[in-house]
């Protein structure tokens, strides 16, 4: 008896570009983004959904890409941290992270940025508590979160 194919065709839009691929149905979305498409801003931290380093936007919602199979994203619009900048210019959020020293090692930063961007898209003027709630699924081992929260709130204050 012939083993059924585990390959599936998917089509996704990532940062405005369409990608169509045949891939193993068991491939995680984070590995498809990083390894197949070379969009390495999305980080792999824990592969268990705990750290948030792999956070992306899937159809406008912040999600952890290590918790989804790539085939589950078929037909979706995805944004990664590479999509935040416009024409080589840092977004206001990215600039705020830089000016508020909201990063140290930087490993969590892409996920933090994507969680914060989702918050700001829904709530352009978040409070400190709302910013803390938005990033609660993202772990940073370096900063103590104070500067990250200040950077997020600052974007809302300057908008």
68 and 96 in one domain?
Answer: no
11 and 76 in one domain?
Answer: yes
Contact 13, 78 (CB under 8 A): yes
79 and 104 in one domain?
Answer: no
Tokens describing residue 66: 């290590």
- Tens-digit pLDDT string for the chain (159 aa): 666 668 999 999 999 999 999 999 999 999 999 999 999 999 999 889 999 999 999 999 999 999 999 999 999 999 999 999 988 899 999 999 999 999 889 999 999 999 999 999 999 999 999 999 999 999 998 887 999 999 999 998 886
Residue 100 sits in which domain range? 92-158
- CATH number of domain containing 105: 1.10.150.120
- CATH number of domain containing 30: 3.10.20.30
Establish if 1 belongs to a structural domain. no
119 and 79 in one domain?
Answer: no
129 and 72 in one domain?
Answer: no
Number of domains in the chain: 2
CA 82 – CA 2 distance, rounded (Å): 42
User: According to the model, what pLDDT value does residue 2 have?
Assistant: 61
DSSP element (H, E) containing 46 = none
* Displacement of CA 95 from its chain's centroid (Å): 17
40 and 108 in one domain?
Answer: no
Establish if 15 belongs to a structural domain. yes
Main-chain dihedrals φ then ψ at residue 118, nearest 5 degrees: -65, -40
CB within 8 A of 59, min separation 6: which ones?
A: 76, 77
154 and 106 in one domain?
Answer: yes
**Axis-axis angle for helices 92-99, 146-158 (nearest 10):** 130
Establish if 2 belongs to a structural domain. no
Count the neighbouring beta carbons within 10 Å of the beta carbon of residue 134.
22
31 and 72 in one domain?
Answer: yes
62 and 99 in one domain?
Answer: no
144 and 100 in one domain?
Answer: yes
CA 63 – CA 56 distance, rounded (Å): 6
* Global confidence as pTM: 0.93
């Amino acid at each position: 008896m012939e083993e059924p194919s585990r390959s599936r065709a998917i089509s996704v839009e990532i940062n405005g570009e369409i990608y169509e691929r045949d891939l193993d149905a068991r491939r995680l979305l984070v590995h498809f983004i990083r390894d197949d498409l070379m969009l390495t801003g999305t980080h792999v931290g824990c592969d268990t959904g705990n750290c948030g380093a792999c956070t992306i936007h899937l159809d406008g919602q912040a999600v952890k890409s290590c918790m989804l199979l790539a085939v589950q994203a078929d037909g979706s619009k995805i944004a990664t941290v590479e999509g935040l900048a416009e024409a080589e210019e840092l977004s206001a959020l990215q600039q705020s992270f830089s000016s508020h020293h909201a990063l140290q090692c930087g490993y969590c930063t892409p996920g933090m940025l994507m969680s914060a961007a989702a918050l700001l898209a829904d709530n352009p003027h978040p409070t400190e508590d709302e910013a803390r709630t938005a990033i609660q699924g993202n772990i940073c081992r370096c900063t103590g979160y104070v500067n990250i929260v200040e950077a997020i709130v600052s974007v809302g204050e300057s908008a």
